[in-house]
Amino acid sequence: MEGDDDVEMREWCHALPKIELHAHLNGSIRDSTLLELAKRLGEKGVIVFEDVEHIIMKYGRSLPECFQLFDLFHILATDHETVTRITKEVIEDFAAENVVYLELRTTPKKNEAKGMTKRSYMKAVIDGLRAVETVDVVLFDSSNENGSESTIINGTSAEMKRRKIYMGLLLSIDRRETTTAAVETVDLAVEMKDLGVVGIDLSGNPVIGEWQTYLPALKHAKEVGLPITLHCGEVPNKKEIQAMLDFCPQRMGHVCYLEEEEWKTLKSLKIPVEICLTSNVRTERVPSVEYHHFVDLYNAKHPLALCTDDPGLFSTSLSNEYFLVASAFGLSKGEMLQISQKAVEYIFADSEMKKSLMKVFEDAQRKLVL
Ligand SMILES: [Zn+2]
């Protein structure tokens, strides 16, 4: 049972405006939606529903169970309608956690049987943004050069003053993809810059694929000025970690298996790190939150952002990640506010959006009890 202090701290972490920089669309699906979609697939005979039901219902899944769910996600989101629905719900859930800026990442998928191309998949994602009902979605718009705030794309705000969630989209290159497919994703990201796409991510099963396969696409992204974040060091792979550090992306996620030399390089390059505590513990990359490299990076004043990786998959929320930091490392409310506010500097959206977010934090500073 949690004491009164913990309950109060949880409430405070919930009220804190937060910046989410590392969340995958599929891994953020609501459990209730997952259950409903899995049931439907079971009825169609695509999967055996009973095999996945207990995993979906479970809080705190084991590593093999997480992998089973990963596989399920890939079968679920194969039509436009589902992609739109999932996106809408995911954004509403983040907004309900007081996430004020969300950089949502997803791998554009092809499904010829459903007439889905990478482009039409992304259109379905954007339709999901437009369908959000609970908050105004303010989308990064690279064509907006007049210095005014970016576009509200689901706007009813002319009549109603509502809360806002600022957003950017990242297109993920999956490690199973070929060089050609990876380049295609980068080209699509360039094409969609004025539709909220702010950067590129490299993700997927870390034991699959070679760095050299994605490098041409990542270099291309760099050349056209698209910011990049890499899932780095999820498994021990010295050669790849070194190559990723040499590439010097704008951000890195996880960085679990770095050796001393590589820590030094990371720190000297000051590459901001997306810290995913629960994800790293659940996938057994670190033994517990207390032993997480967050504390070393934090003490070294290294740029970092607390993130969920996947709130659905890992049964967490961004508020919970802040609570974990407070309880494990005894951080004060002021220090946590500072972590959240600092993350604004590492977002991939433009300076106008950063300015809007700084205002959100100035307001919060006045309202939050520290
Ligand atoms: Zn991830």
What per-residue confidence (pLDDT) applies to 50?
92
The predicted structure's pLDDT at residue 311:
92
165 near 93, Cβ under 8 Å? no
| Closest residue by Cα to residue 283 from 29, 27, 25, 102 | 27
Q: What integer pLDDT is reported at residue 73 of this predicted model?
A: 86
42 C-alpha to center of ligand 1: Å?
Answer: 28
**Residue 162 has what pLDDT?**
80
Q: Which residue has the higher pLDDT, 252 or 64?
A: 252
pTM to 2 decimals? Answer: 0.94
pLDDT of residue 238: 96
Cα 282 to ligand 1 centre (Å): 13
Comparing CA positions, the residue from 1, 3, 2, 14 lying closest to residue 323 is 14
Alpha-carbon distance values, 79 to 18, 41, 89, 204, 280 (Å): 31, 12, 16, 21, 31
Q: What are the helix (H) ranges across the chain?
A: 4-15, 31-43, 49-57, 63-76, 80-96, 118-130, 179-191, 211-223, 238-247, 260-269, 277-282, 294-299, 318-329, 333-342, 351-367
Supply the pLDDT for residue 230: 98
CA of 63 to the centre of ligand 1 (A): 14
With 0-12 / 13-18 / 19 or more C-beta atoms within 10 angstroms meaning exposed / middle / buried, residue 57 is: exposed
For the cut 60, the answer to whether the pLDDT of residue 18 exceeds it is yes
- Which residues are marked as active site? 234
* Mean pLDDT, residues 132-156: 73
Would you say residue 1 has pLDDT above 70?
no
- Cβ atoms of 140 and 165 closer than 8 Å: no
Average pLDDT for residues 74-90, to the nearest whole number?
A: 92
In terms of Cβ atoms closer than 10 Å to its own Cβ (0-12, 13-18, 19+), residue 246 is exposed
Gap from CA of 287 to ligand 1 centroid (Å) = 18
> 124 alpha carbon to ligand 1 midpoint, in Å?
21
| Residues 164, 343 contacting (CB under 8 angstroms) | no
Q: What pLDDT, in 10s, does the model give residues 342-361?
A: 999 999 998 899 999 999 99
**What type of residue is 303?**
P
Backbone angles phi, psi at 174, to 5 degrees: -85, 140
Over residues 229-237, mean pLDDT: 96
Return the minimum-mean-pLDDT range out of 60-64, 185-189, 222-226, 331-335.
Answer: 60-64
pLDDT in tens, 208-226: 999 999 999 999 999 999 9
Q: How far apart are CA 19 and CA 303, in angstroms?
A: 14
Report the pLDDT averaged over residues 53-66. Answer: 84
- 90, pLDDT greater than 60: yes
